[in-house]
Amino acid sequence: MNLKRSYTNLLILLLLIVSLIFIVRGPLEQFVEGSIKNYDLNQFESKVKSGEVKEVLIKNKSHVINGTLKDGTKFTLEFPSEYPITIKEMLIEKNVRFKTDAENTPAWIGWIIQFLPIILIMGIMIFFLNQMRGSGNKILEFGKSKARRVTKDQPKITFKDVGGVDETIEELKEIAEFLENPTKFHTLGAKIPKGVLLYGPPGSGKTLLARAVAGEAKVPFFQISGSEFVELFVGVGASRVRDLFTEAKANEPCIIFIDEIDAVGRHRGAGIGGGHDEREQTLNQLLVEMDGFDVLNSIIVMAATNRPDILDEALLRTGRFDRRIVVNIPDIKGREDILKIHMRGKPIADDVKIDVIARQTPGFTGADLENLLNEAALLTARHNKRKITMEEIQQSIERIIAGPEKKSRIISDKEKKIIAYHEAGHALVAYHLPHADPIHKISVMSRGMSLGYTITLPEKDRYLLSRSELTEKLTQLLGGRASEEIVFKDITTGAQNDLEKSTKIARQMVCEFGMSDKIGPLTLGNKQGAIFLGRDFSAHPDYSEQVAYEIDKEIRKLVDIAYEKAMKILTTHKDQLDLIAQNLIERETLNKEELEELLKGKKETLEENETEITVKFKPESKKDAMERKAIKEKKSLIPPKPVLESK
């Protein structure tokens, strides 16, 4: 059937081309004849008598003579009906070649030429209508919904395939129960929720949860992306919304899932088109369908977004999205559950410890953890191993955090030394700060955009940060630049990213967290502006210039204090700085255990009258070493005498 349709389309196309040639031939001839000279009878006779004419063609029916001069010039003229006898005698006398064209055109050809434009128009209409009816073309279906219905035959994702969001799963199970057994809730006077909005950071599993609902639900499930509503033509989006809900009503009870709803659900009146652009027409229709005069009975609308702050208020009100479920980044237990799910079907070595991986991946989303194990599997195949080991997983963690390793980048010995001292400064400052995260790895190997990197990993998940912790974070960030200044008496551009991060943290401490003693507990700088072209929010100063000056002073003060603290730590422990840098130059990479083995120091913090005192041990001499060995052999618990140094 498709082959027959293809031959029919080809035949119609050929007929259209032939017809077009016939129509265009006349104008083309006129265009070519634009360079032909028009003579009158006197000029023609003069040319013939002077012997300049080479040949002519006499058209008796149209009373036209076409000719060519001996120099190649073409000409044409019209003559009266009785003229051919006279001109033939003149042409014979001057030995000019001539032909006579009776132009006996059949009558049917004249009819075809007369009706050819009508035939061409009808052929074009038949051709396009035939194309529109084709299975691969949806030209007449602009207003049809593009929602895909999840059927029973498709592979299912259930709640067993989702981890780290137990509370969210319980909420969604309740939604499925509403649809399966509505009588249980109606007898108590409860109404079925109209809509469920899933929001959270990218990669946290919102779309996966919706797929799990589709797999668990025993009702029809329609899924569509927010961007699939909007088209170039006005009114198409609203038409697709109407068609989607019409199809849903025919299959109720059912679930409609709209992914990335912020594509059509942004605040109205924020774009160039005002209230009449295509996106806002689509949003208006969606609002009406969710809670208009036609009240939904057994249709639940689910939606997902990572920008709930830009959604229109009318969309978020009660009666449309009754449930708003936050899908957060998983905690350490959630990461363990997600890792177990993604390890299914993969050959995992015995040395792989899920709890260790979970502790080393704070801030990772479910998508990041899936990517982590996929990268580890790729590395395992590259190393020609049969099982994924802890080594490949560790390399994958570093690859995701710092970027791919660039072994081909050539770095001079001088720059390598600068990088080594820079990273050693970060590590040593973090080592001597009581609230800093433990060092996981230091390296001078290039990864991504960085020439070297220092990875610190928190021992447990934290949801609150104190002022002292943020201050120590600033100190650690500035440790690299302080190290360069101490060792080389100069600074480089390597601290650019560190300065950006430290300045941002200091500004947040002053303007957002109220951690400045001088400014006080205030939040300064309202976020507002036009939601347009992706620049959704811009900081609007709601304070005077004098306050702005004070803010700048406080930011500078925080950064200066942190920098001085880093300088003091590195100056005090210069021997340890040299030791770490030298080992980095030789070995290129140091992990946590190797760093602690190098330093072999203990640090304690004592609080007395709110004064922090750091305990520092003197470098161990040979005599002290012998005494320590003897004490160890006697299993004595008496520690060496420390030297106290007040900060």
Model confidence over 442-491: pLDDT tens digits? 988 888 777 888 888 887 777 888 899 999 999 999 999 999 999 999 89
pLDDT band at residue 294 under the 50/70/90 scheme: low
The model's confidence at residue 500, banded by pLDDT at 50, 70 and 90, is very high
Report the largest interatomic distance among the alpha carbons of the chain, rounded to a whole angstrom: 146
Cβ neighbours, 10 Å, residue 259: 19
d(C-alpha 429, C-alpha 594), whole Å: 17
DSSP 8-state secondary structure symbol assigned to residue 296: -
Q: Evaluate the CA torsion angle 363, 368, 370, 376 in order and state its sign.
A: negative
pLDDT at 565 over 90: yes
pLDDT for residue 616 is more than 70: no
| Contact by Cβ (8 Å): 426, 450 | no
The SS3 assignment for 520 reads: coil
Which carries the bigger pLDDT value, residue 274 or residue 307? 307
Question: What is the structure's pLDDT at 561?
Answer: 93
Q: Annotated active-site positions, please?
A: 423
Nearest to 126 by CA among 21, 9, 19, 3: 9
* Residues 154-181, mean pLDDT to the nearest whole number: 81
Give the pLDDT confidence score for residue 245 in this predicted structure. 87
Pick from 278, 263, 343, 349: nearest CA to 310: 263
- Share of the chain residues as helix, strand and coil, in percent rounded to the nearest 5: 50, 15, 35
H or E element at residue 639: none
- Measured at the CA of 593, the angle between CA 587 and CA 595, to 5 degrees, comes to 55
Cβ neighbours for 121, distance < 8 A, ≥ 6 positions apart:
none
Q: How far apart are the first and last CA of the chain?
A: 89
Q: 327, 209 in Cβ contact below 8 A?
A: yes
CA 77/CA 61 separation, integer angstroms? 14
381 pLDDT more than 80:
yes
How much is the mean pLDDT over the chain? 77
Rounded to 5°, the CA angle 176-177-181 comes to 125
Phi then psi dihedrals of residue 379, to 5 deg: -65, -40
Q: Is residue 502 a contact partner of residue 478, using CB atoms and an 8 Å limit? A: yes
pLDDT given at position 234: 64
Residue 222 DSSP symbol: E
User: Token pair for residue 378?
Assistant: 């790729």
Residue 321 to residue 314: CA distance in whole angstroms: 10
Alpha-carbon distance values, 237 to 227, 273, 282 (Å): 9, 15, 5
Cα-based torsion angle of the residue sequence 400, 402, 405, 409 in order, rounded to the nearest 10 degrees: 150
**Which phi-psi region, left, alpha or beta, contains residue 191 (left: φ > 0; alpha: ψ -120 to 50)?**
beta
Residue 644 has pLDDT above 60, yes or no: no
Per-residue confidence (pLDDT) for residue 395, from 0 to 100: 87
430/565 Cα distance (integer angstroms): 12
Residue whose token pair is 């309740």: 174
Q: How far is CA 471 from CA 409, 474, 478, 603, in A?
A: 35, 5, 11, 19
- Look at residue 247 and tell me whether its pLDDT is greater than 50: yes
438 pLDDT above the threshold of 80: yes
Most confident of 238-252, 516-530, 571-585: 571-585
HEC string for 307-333 = CHHHECHHHHCCCCCCEEEECCCCCHH
Q: Residue 245 burial by CB count (10 A; 0-12/13-18/19+): exposed, middle or buried?
A: buried
Domains of the chain: 2-108 (3.30.720.210), 148-326 (3.40.50.300), 332-402 (1.10.8.60), 413-600 (1.20.58.760), 603-647 (no CATH)
Give the pLDDT confidence score for residue 131 in this predicted structure. Answer: 57
C-beta of residue 336 within 8 angstroms of C-beta of residue 321: no
pLDDT digits (tens, 9 = 90+) for 134-145: 544 444 455 566
pLDDT in tens, 94-140: 778 877 765 555 556 656 666 667 776 776 766 666 655 554 444 44
Tokens standing for 418? 């600068």
Which of 175-184, 292-301, 604-613 has the highest average model confidence (pLDDT)?
Answer: 175-184
Residue 262: Cβ-neighbour burial (10 angstroms; 0-12, 13-18, 19+)? buried
Residue 455's pLDDT is 84
